[in-house]
Chain A
Amino acid sequence: MSTSGTSLKTYALTRLALVVPMVLILLTLVFLLMRVAPGDPISAALGGRVPVSVINQIKHQVGFDRPLYVQYGDYLWGILHGDLGTTITDRRPVSSIIVENGGATLELTIAAGIIAITIGVVVGLLAGRYRDTWIDVGGRMFGIVAYAMPVFFLGFLAQLFFGVYLGWLPTSGEASPITQAFLPVHTHILIIDAIWARNWAALWDIIRHLILPAVTLGIVIGGIFIRLVRVNVIRSLKDDYVEAARARGISERSVVYHHAFRNALVPVVTVVGLQMALLLGGAILTEETFNWPGIGQTLIKYLENRDYVGVQGIIVVFALIVVFVSLAIDFVNAFIDPRIRY
Chain B
Amino acid sequence: MAVVGAAAQGSRRSFLSRLGKLWAPIAETQGLARVMLATGAAITFVFVVLALFARWIAPYGFSQYEVDGRRFPQLAPPSSAHLMGTTVESDDVFSRIVWGAQTELKVVLLALVVSLVLGVPLGLLSGYFGGPLDRGLVLVMDALFAFPPLLLAIVIAFLLSSTVGSGVVTAAIAITVVYVPQYFRVVRNHVISLREETYVEAARALGAKPFTIIRKYVFFNVVQNVPVIGTLNAADAILTLAALGFLGYGVQPTEASEWGYDVQRALSDATTGIWWTGLFPGLAIVILVTGITLLGEGLNETINPVLRKRRFVKVVFPERGKVPAE
Contact = CB atoms under 8 A, between A and B. Distances in A.
B243 interface: yes
Contact of A25 (B139, B155, B249): B139
A197 B106 CA distance: 54
A288 B247 contact: yes
Contacts of A322: 146-148
Contact of A171 (B144, B239, B260, B271): B271
Interface in A225-239: 235
A152 interface: yes
Contacts of A159: 267, 270-271
B208 to A, nearest CB: 32
A84 B65 CA distance: 47
A183 interface: no
Given A148-B286, A148-B290, A284 B146 contact: no
Interface string A307-342: 000010001001100110010000000000000000
Instruction: Identify which of A26, A38, A137, A281 gathers the most chain B CB atoms within 10 Å of its CB.
Output: A281
A164 B275 CA distance: 10
A318 B150 contact: no
A148 B146 contact: no
A178 interface: no
A311 B159 CA distance: 11
A211 to B, nearest CB: 17
Contacts of B279: 156-157
A164 B140 contact: no
Nearest to A25: B143
A322 B243 CA distance: 20
B290 A145 contact: yes
A285 interface: yes
Contacts of B306: 235
Given A277-B148, A315-B155, A319-B147, A148 B242 contact: no
A285 B267 contact: no
Given A25-B140, A145-B290, A277-B147, A150 B246 contact: yes
Contacts of A235: 306
A144 B32 contact: no
26 contacts: A22-B143, A25-B143, A29-B143, A37-B162, A144-B290, A144-B297, A148-B239, A148-B285, A148-B293, A150-B242, A150-B243, A152-B264, A153-B278, A153-B285, A159-B267, A160-B275, A163-B271, A164-B270, A277-B148, A281-B150, A284-B150, A284-B151, A285-B246, A303-B158, A319-B146, A326-B146
Interface in B98-125: none
A5 to B, nearest CB: 29
Nearest to B283: A153
> Size band of the B side of the interface?
35 or more
A38 B162 CA distance: 8
Given A144-B294, A311-B158, A153 B146 contact: no
A280 B148 CA distance: 7
A165 B271 CA distance: 9
Contacts of A34: 159
Contacts of B286: 145, 148-150, 153
B31 interface: yes
Interface in A141-196: 144-145, 147-150, 152-153, 156-157, 159-160, 163-165, 171
B99 to A, nearest CB: 19
B259 to A, nearest CB: 9
Given A160-B275, A282-B150, 16 more contacts: A26-B146, A26-B147, A29-B140, A34-B159, A38-B162, A144-B290, A144-B297, A148-B293, A150-B243, A152-B243, A153-B263, A153-B278, A281-B151, A306-B162, A319-B146, A319-B147
A21 interface: yes
B254 interface: no
Given A26-B143, A26-B146, A137-B32, A150 B285 contact: yes
Identify the interface centre among A33, A44, A150, A280: most chain B CB within 10 Å of its CB.
A150
A171 B270 CA distance: 10
Nearest to B139: A25
B219 to A, nearest CB: 27
Contact of A323 (B146, B246, B272): B146
Contacts of A39: 162
B167 interface: no
B317 to A, nearest CB: 28
Contacts of A165: 273
B312 to A, nearest CB: 14
Nearest to A39: B162
A132 B34 CA distance: 13
A37 B159 contact: yes
A132 B31 contact: yes
Nearest to A296: B151
A148 B278 CA distance: 16
A160 B271 CA distance: 7
A67 B139 CA distance: 27
B266 A156 contact: yes
B246 A288 contact: yes
A156 B246 CA distance: 12
A235 B307 CA distance: 9
A281 B148 contact: yes
Given A156-B270, A281-B150, A38 B142 contact: no
Nearest to A29: B143
Given A156-B266, A159-B267, A289-B267, A37 B163 contact: yes
A315 B149 CA distance: 12
Contacts of A90: none
Contacts of A240: none
B249 to A, nearest CB: 7
A333 to B, nearest CB: 17
A149 B286 CA distance: 5
A318 B148 contact: yes
Q: Which of B31, B139, B267 has the most CB of A within 10 A?
A: B267
Interface in A18-56: 21-22, 25-26, 29, 33-34, 36-39, 44
